[in-house]
Structures are given as C-alpha cells and as structure tokens.
Structure 1
Amino acid sequence: MNLLTSSDSLVLWRDTVRDAEKRCAIRLERELETYLVSLLLRYMNQPEIAKQVFARAILEAQQMLERERNTALQEVGDQCLLFAGLFPRAAERRHVKISYFVDIGKTAYATISQQANDLYGSLAMQFVLLMDVLQSIRPYHDLLPLEAYEQWNELGSRRALNILQMYTDSLPVSARKK
C-alpha cells in the first residue's frame, strides 16, 4: 500500500483513483477519470450530503427550470455515486439496497444527458464501473459473499464478481430475469 504524502489534493485524488483502477483491473476513459477526481475534490469537505434524501431531491429537481434542474440533478448523481462507491454501508443503515443509489444516480445523469455519448450519458452508462473504482479505493475487499452476489447479480458489478470468486471456486448463477 502506498502512503499518500502529497500536499496537492488534486495529485492525491488522481493517484488514489488510478491505484483503485489498478486494483479492480479497470482503466477509465480519461474524461471519466478526470470527472471522478474532480468529484472527490468537490465533496471532500461536505459532510452534509450524508443527510440527503435522494428520491426527494430528484423529484424536487424535476420541478425546477432547466439550468437549475440540471445543476440539481448533477448534484444528485454525484452524491449517489459517492454513496454507492465510498459509503455502501449507508444503504444498509437507511434500510435500502445499494441499487437505490445506483438507480437514482443513473437516472439523474441520464436526465441531463443531451446524447448517449456525452459526459452525463457516459456517467449514467458507466455508473457501476465508477462505483467499482470508488469501492476499490479501500485496499481490502469488504463485501461479504451475499453482498458481493447482490452487487454482481443486480448491478453487474465486475468488482463484486471478482470478490465473489475469491470466496468460491464455483461460478455464480444469476437470478436476474432475462
């Protein structure tokens, strides 16, 4: 494990994200990596997001004028990504599944996307991959077998599948309805 000693927060977060990418064998597109680093920089001193009720926030954002709506939806998407990636146990404390954060975050980004290949469209489509990178910031595998199965089965998390395969030599079977 590398000790992070840089006083430059940008370099610190960039290196942290890149180390997490290596841990989960993912290489993000540069635009997504840059966005993830800037997201971590923006929210590193904002503990008040822990009080956010995301379903209500997305509904309130839908009632705003377009410019305000897009800003509010971006914040909802960003905060859901942080929760799903850095604080997955928050779902348990709120008595919801992690898919709650994923579904709302993807919806928020997709709503402000102008086309499928713009930044917000990419954030929506790659949400689980970004969540995997954020979860990999911690250098240890913290998912229990059932949690790993749920994240793989319901969300398609590659990180969760890798962790699940550490628990067993068998291949998991998806319970998703096709």
Structure 2
Amino acid sequence: MPLLTSETTLVLWHETIKNAEIRCSISLTQELETYLISLLIRYTDRPEVAQQIFAKTFLEAMQQRERQRNACLQNVGDQCLLYAGLFPRQAQKKHVKINYFVDLGRSAYATISNTANDIYWSLALQFVTLMDVLQSIRETPDLMPLEAYDQWNELGSQRALSCLLGYTRGVPVKK
C-alpha cells in the first residue's frame, strides 16, 4: 500500500478512496467520490455510530417532519454505508447479515431522494459499489469464501466476486 503523506484530512481521505477504487477496479463519479470523502471526514471522530440500532432510528425518522426526517434518514444511510463498508464483521456480532445494512441504507437514501437524478438516488443505486470501495480500503481481502459468495450472490458485490475467485478456480453460480 502506498504511503499516504498528505497533511490534511481531505487530501488523505481522497488519496485513500482513490487507492481503494484502483484496488477494486471501480471508478466512482466525481459526485459520489466527493460525497464519500465528505462522509468519511464527518464521521472520523464519531465512534458513537457503532452504538445505534439503525432500524429503530429509521422508523423514528419516518415520524418526523420532512426536514428533520430527511436529515435523520441521511444519517441512517450514511451510517449503514460506513458499517457495511468499513465494519462488515460487526454484522456478525449483531447477528445480522450485511444485507441488513445495505437494504436499510438504500431505503434511507431512496426515501429522501427527490428525483431519479439526485445524489441520494445515486447513493441508493450505487450503495454496494460504494460499500466495495470502502471495503477495499484494507488491502487484504477479509471476506471468507461463504461471506464472499453471499455478498456477490445476494448483493451483486463485484469485490466479493473478486475475493471469491481468489479462493477457487471454479466459476460461481447464482442461486
């Protein structure tokens, strides 16, 4: 992994995301890349994210007025993306599949989307791709074969397919 030498948080996260994109052969749009970098900057010093029950927060947000609801749902989407991308092992500790975070995050972003062309719609559609980039921040594949198969088969994760192909010469078949 190349040594990151930048002094600012923005440049450091930008270099990290660019390297992760290269590692997993994904090229994000400028808009999604910028959003992902700003997301990482916003949550760098917020360890309390791990203490939340996302489904409960999602349901509570739906009871709020539009502006408050949208802010809460954006936070749910952002936190689910961080969880699925940076802390996929935490799903096991919470006794849920990674799909829980993906489905909830996609739903949160889609709910606050105003059109099929806004950033939230893009985040909902590209959630797994963004998850793949975040998971690629680590150089070593941390997915076990069955996890890789599940993420590829159920979510369409290209990074998971790449990990899976690293374990076997066979071609996986979707259920």
TM-score bracket for the superposition, by shorter chain length:
over 0.9
Structure 1 runs, 4 residues or longer, greater than 3 Å off: none
- Counterpart in the other structure of 1:105: 105
Residues 100-154 of structure 1: CA deviation (Å, up to 9, x unaligned): 0000000000000011121000000000000000000001111110000000011
Instruction: Give the Cα–Cα distance (whole angstroms) in 2 for the partners of residues 67 and 100 of structure 1.
Output: 25
The one-letter amino acid paired with 2:88 is P
Gaps of 5+ in 2: none
Q: What SS does the aligned partner of 2:95 have?
A: coil
Q: What SS does the aligned partner of 2:114 have?
A: coil
- Counterpart in the other structure of 2:139: 139
Aligned length: 175
Instruction: Give the Cα–Cα distance (whole angstroms) in 2 for the partners of residues 13 and 137 of structure 1.
Output: 10
- Counterpart in the other structure of 2:58: 58
Gaps of 5+ in 1: none
Instruction: Give the Cα–Cα distance (whole angstroms) in 1 for the partners of residues 25 and 7 of structure 2.
Output: 27
Q: What SS does the aligned partner of 2:4 have?
A: coil
Instruction: Give the Cα–Cα distance (whole angstroms) in 1 for the partners of residues 56 and 117 of structure 2.
Output: 28
What TM-score do the two structures reach when normalised by structure 1?
0.97
- Counterpart in the other structure of 1:74: 74
Instruction: Give the Cα–Cα distance (whole angstroms) in 1 for the partners of residues 124 and 48 of structure 2.
Output: 24
What TM-score do the two structures reach when normalised by structure 2?
0.99
1:55 is displaced (CA, Å) by 0.4
The one-letter amino acid paired with 2:117 is N
Instruction: Give the Cα–Cα distance (whole angstroms) in 1 for the partners of residues 116 and 102 of structure 2.
Output: 18
Instruction: Give the Cα–Cα distance (whole angstroms) in 1 for the partners of residues 139 and 163 of structure 2.
Output: 13
Instruction: Give the Cα–Cα distance (whole angstroms) in 1 for the partners of residues 144 and 88 of structure 2.
Output: 12
The one-letter amino acid paired with 1:171 is V
